[in-house]
Homo-oligomer: A and B are copies of this chain.
Amino acid sequence: MKKEPGKTVNLAFVGLGKRGLSLLNLVLVAMDDIKVTALCDVYQDRTDRAADLVEEKTKERPFTTLDYKELLDRKDIDAVIVPSSWETHFDICLDFMKAGKYVASEVGGANSVEQCWDLVKTYEKTGTPAMILENCCYGKTELTVLNMIKQGVFGELIHAQGGYQHDLRTEVATGVEKRHYRLDNYKHRNGDLYPTHELGPIAKWLSVNRGNRMTYLCSMASKTAGITDWIRKNRGPDYDNANFKFALGDVVTTMIKCAHGETILLVHDTSLPRPYSRGNRLQGTNAIWMEDKWAFCIDGVSPVNKWGEYRWESFDDYYEKYEHPLWTWYRQRGLIGGHDGMDYLTLRAFLEAVKNGTDTPIDAYDMATWMSITCLSEQSVAMGGHPVPIPDFTNGRWMHREPAIPGRYCLDEICGPEYFEI
């Protein structure tokens, strides 16, 4: 699997909806050392459009197929990006791992604990690395906070919060006409369907799977009303699913306990009107940070009011002072691509691992652990908030694994022979 540095990586995509196309574009525009050799989706118009795009940029038309299994044995594929529907992530990734090809899954949650175990066992048996492309781990804000933690600013960590809080009513409600995989999940499942945007960074902050682990969770779902309300208001009573009783609660709250006593609070909130927010919050014995308020308070330093009680400070000064070295470098060279530049860093972290034949910075254990929260949350909701244990997918290795947060990231190819510990 080890690639010579500098050599081109042959890359395939399985899943070419909106997200897949966006990642493909990023590769085509910004990565000369990556060659897109194969494209797959279940819809031919998508593979056609994507192949056109590649051909337009590179003058070479990649292989296309509607069946990803046709890619498994191809010699011109080193690694595969999997931005397919949520429920297909595991099957596709596992098949490629067995075929010896690095895989990077887009984010989402698991449907069963068993498929998370299958991922880990396949990884252990084949030695083929996998990665979940959790771009928020590479967000500037999330990495700044990670840097502050490492420098001791928060003291002992106690509690973290976050959420996927995104008004997706249009996307879900129009899911039939837009062929969006979210729709079926919202119709039939009730739990935190999409936890990793906030949980990934939090897991890295709290050293989950590297000296710490999540032990159990409790989830609660509110009533469901938002999607139906949107359909009736915007499309009328005869539109798709206008009379379907959606299973997913509009707001799903999940509490998680860690082995070292920290608590994590997650909120899934995508069926009601609201601005986008990951709503992060972190508290330690020495400081508190709130993303929504963009505010910070540090013991013994922040100003006090007339009663001697702390007042919030703007996070701006700290944001500048504690910028992560990776971001300082990245900002100076100019950001690339979508989602404020973090997509590029994430995809590049995966591709650097492929090029260097190393493991991924967000590995199969992380992927299994983070994605398992979805089905565990469903179980807890189904049992009225009953606590559900979170498996130790490392089988004890978490106690000894090196605290690489979120892993050793080689930037050889893009900024000279420097290594950043991110």
Contacts and interface: CB of A to CB of B under 8 A. Distances in A.
B273 A286 contact: yes
Contacts of A385: 216-218, 255, 257, 385, 387
Contacts of A225: 156, 158, 285
Interface string A302-320: 1000000111100000000
Nearest to A298: B273
A407 to B, nearest CB: 26
Contact of A309 (B255, B261, B275, B299): B275
A146 B275 CA distance: 22
Given A292-B292, A309-B167, A387-B385, A273 B297 contact: yes
Question: How many copies are assembled?
Answer: 2
Contact of A262 (B223, B261, B285): B223
Given A166-B309, A224-B261, 9 more contacts: A158-B250, A222-B261, A251-B263, A255-B385, A272-B285, A273-B286, A274-B283, A274-B288, A384-B387
Interface in A244-261: 249-251, 253, 255, 257, 260-261
A74 B218 CA distance: 51
A229 interface: yes
A203 interface: no
Contact of A384 (B159, B216, B260): B216
Nearest to A288: B274
15 contacts: A158-B226, A158-B250, A159-B222, A221-B263, A223-B262, A225-B285, A226-B285, A229-B285, A251-B263, A273-B286, A273-B287, A273-B288, A275-B310, A290-B292, A292-B292
A142 interface: no
* Main SS class of interface, A: loop
A397 interface: no
A379 B398 CA distance: 31
A381 B284 CA distance: 21
A19 interface: no
B218 A220 contact: yes
A192 interface: no
Contact of A265 (B253, B261, B297): B253
A298 B275 CA distance: 10
A384 B255 CA distance: 11
Given A273-B286, A311-B275, A220 B257 contact: yes
A251 B309 contact: no
